[in-house]
Every structure is written in C-alpha cells, then in structure tokens.
Amino acid sequence: MANRRYSPVLLEEIKRKQYVLNEQGLDILIKPIPDDGRPGAMDPRLLALTEPIVKGIRGSLLSLFTPLFLKSRNPRRLAAFMRRYFDDIQSVPITEGVSVRHDTVQTPEADVPVRVYRREDARLEAAPVCLYMHGGGFAAGNPNVVEEIVKQVVHLSGCVAVQPEYRLAPENPFPAALNDCWETLRWVYRNAASFGGDPRRICVAGDSAGGNLAAACAMRGRDEGGGMVKAQVLLYPVVNMAGKEDENYHFSLDQFTMLKEQKKSILFRIRAMRGGSEGILGCVLGVKDESLPLLSPYLGNPRNMPPTLVICGEFDCLRLDGEAYARKLKAAGVPVRTIRYLGIGHAFSECIGVQPQAEDCVAEISRFIAERV
C-alpha cells in the first residue's frame, strides 16, 4: 500500500456503506463517499483539486471564456484543448507482476499499435480477454493514461488485456478510431490463444469516448461478428452523442443533488463536460449526423447486446446518459449491472492510487469479468 495516497480503511468504508437504490425501475449500486456522508457533497479529494480552479479571477475567466472557446467549432483548436487536459497521467503505480508486450495489428487502413497485458505468474491457458479502449474525446488520451486501470484488472481478475492505440481525430475523422478498435477485436478473436486468451471469452471495455468505442464494437460484434463479444464494461460512456431526449432520458441540473456551499465547484465539473458534449465531439470527428447508432449507441437497437456493466460518477453529466442506456438495455432483456459513485465527477477511474473510488471501481470491473466472461 506504500504508493497509495489514501488509507486502505477508505476502501473498506466504500464497501461497508454501499447500498442499492431503485430509480425509474433500474437497480443502482450506490457507492458513498467513504469519509463524508452529507447528501450532495463532493469527495474531499476532488474538492481539493476543484476549488482552486473555480475560485477568484481564474475561475471567473474560465467560466467566461471556456464556453466561448468550445463553441468556436475549430476541430484542431478543440483537439489541442482536449490534449492539454486529457493526456496527463493521473494515477500512481500500485500494481506489480503484470507484463506488457507490444504488438501491431495490421489493418487495411493503418497499422494499430497494441499492448498485451498478462500476469507474470499466469500460465499460457484460456483466460478471459479484456479489450480496453482509452478515453479522451476521440481526439486525446493514450494508453499510458489508463495503463494502471488495465494492469489492476489483469492483476485482480487473472484476465489477459489488450489495449489499442487507435487513431485520433481530427487528423483521422470518423470512423477511423472505431475501425481500429473493431479490427483489434477481430485480431484478438483470431489470436487470443497465442497470448493465453480464450476467443470465446472476450469483454470489451472503455471509459468516456472509449466507452463509446466499446459499445459500438459490441454492437458490431452482435450484428457482423457472430457474437464475438461476451460482455461489455462502460465507464461513464458517451452513448448519446446526439443528445436526443425521450421518455427515458432528459438532461436537467435538477437531477443533481448539490451541497449548497460546494455548488460552484460541482457545477463547474458538470458544466465542463456538458459543454464538451454539445456538438463538440461531432465537430472533432468530422460528422454531421451524430445520431448514427455507432456514434450514439443509445439510439441503436438494444436487443441481444451482451451483459453490461455501467459505471458513472454522481457529478458527471454523462451519468444521466449512461444510466438511461442501462435502463434501455434492461428493458430489452439484457443483463445489466449499474454502479454510481457519489461525490465524484468524470474520469475518476484514471486516478488509481489517488482516489479510493478508482481502486474500488477496478475491483468491481474485475468481479464482473470473473462472473460474466
């Protein structure tokens, strides 16, 4: 536990205090803040990072100019903005005994670098395979940002993991990233046995934009690939890029409980992501119709999708999208497990060793893979 920046007691408190809440017919496993029980509070570790940003002149300037910048609709400027904020590694290394091998998936469009992760003490046998796609708004992020997540999943579940370094927009417009991930899925299916994996036990996973790519791969796997995907794990996924509302989904700030004295910091976290999801991703990807199911899986056919784990943070605007997708999948007869972490915003799972919720999240993913893959 030497590298962790929190007490192991906090991990135990998350588990001890968790409970199930039924909202609109969906059972959601609620993971409370381990050391703050006030409704609508922000996790103290996240608050310590957020308050210096939003207070004073700097906060006022950010609130004024960020929305204007995001509305500029200049793909390259937007990509540079995303890369400035999404390319940093937020985790600290806590995982030992996991090896990384670099390989290349050759496709008709590009050579896709991939990383293959295995436990060093694992035997070459038919283990489940987790194909993990990093986030970053399709224009940013890289395998290094989420490598500690992937290593932890491999360490805890005993699976083999593969992470593709897919092409980024706007230099590579849609569907370049999706095609890279899809071709990597096909490569995994063909070659899993060579690195100790079982092609019949593949889980696709991803966070944010990576969650979108995972869901799209699962959808293509259902429709084109003969059921290659056994399960999917979606961490605060982009599933409704078009932002279309229906009887199941409606965005409103009224759906977020916020502690009065922390409201400014909480709204900053929610609005920052909300501003980035209103037409921005389509602009970066170079698409005019964001309602295509492979861009907005929420708008696609939910039937016969694989068992699904959806994980979101309470103060992430994408929580409403993700939980609406979970309800839609459940209504279509798909086995769904939904988890909500209170007091946390977007991209929290990247903070392995920094936020106890991130480590608990990885344990839940590992448990789901063990049970469903």
Q: Does residue 223 form part of some domain?
A: yes
Q: What is the pLDDT of residue 62?
A: 60
Q: Does residue 206 form part of some domain?
A: yes
User: Per residue of the chain (373 residues), what is the pLDDT tens digit?
Assistant: 468 999 999 999 999 999 999 999 999 999 999 999 999 999 999 999 999 888 866 666 566 556 555 666 789 988 998 899 899 999 999 999 999 999 999 999 999 999 999 999 988 789 999 999 999 999 999 999 999 999 999 999 999 999 999 999 999 999 999 999 999 999 999 999 999 999 999 999 999 999 999 999 999 999 997 889 999 999 999 999 999 999 999 999 999 999 999 999 999 889 877 765 567 899 999 999 999 999 999 999 999 999 999 999 999 999 999 999 999 999 999 999 999 999 999 999 999 999 999 999 999 999 999 999 9
List Cβ neighbours of 319 (8 Å cut-off, separation of 6 or more): 236, 312, 313, 340
| Strand arrangement, sheet containing 229-235 | 19-23, 26-31, 336-341, 308-313, 229-235, 197-207, 127-133, 160-164, 111-119, 98-106
Cα distances from 90 to residues 60, 80, 146, 155, 267, in angstroms, run 25, 19, 9, 19, 22
Q: What is the pLDDT of residue 272?
A: 76
316 is catalytic: yes
Q: What is the pLDDT of residue 1?
A: 45
What is the domain extent for residue 32?
Answer: 14-372
State whether residue 138 is helix, strand or coil: coil
State whether residue 25 is helix, strand or coil: coil
Q: Does residue 301 form part of some domain?
A: yes
State whether residue 251 is helix, strand or coil: coil
Q: What is the pLDDT of residue 163?
A: 98
pTM as predicted: 0.96
Cα distances from 266 to residues 57, 183, 241, 274, 322, in angstroms, run 18, 39, 22, 12, 19
Burial 200-209 (b: 16+ CB within 10 A, else e): ebbbbbbbbb
The one catalytic residue in 316, 321, 349, 366 is 316
The one catalytic residue in 208, 265, 277, 296 is 208
Number of domains present in the structure of the chain = 1
Q: What is the pLDDT of residue 223?
A: 94
In this structure, what CATH number is given to the domain that contains residue 331? 3.40.50.1820
The DSSP 8-state label assigned to residue 295 in this structure reads T
Q: Does residue 227 form part of some domain?
A: yes
Q: Does residue 362 form part of some domain?
A: yes
Q: Does residue 6 form part of some domain?
A: no
Q: Does residue 1 form part of some domain?
A: no
346 is catalytic: yes
The one catalytic residue in 321, 346, 360, 366 is 346
208 is catalytic: yes
Residue for token pair 């909480």: 266
Cβ atoms of residues 232 and 205 within 8 Å: yes
Q: What is the pLDDT of residue 85?
A: 87
Q: Does residue 8 form part of some domain?
A: no
Residues written for the chain: 373
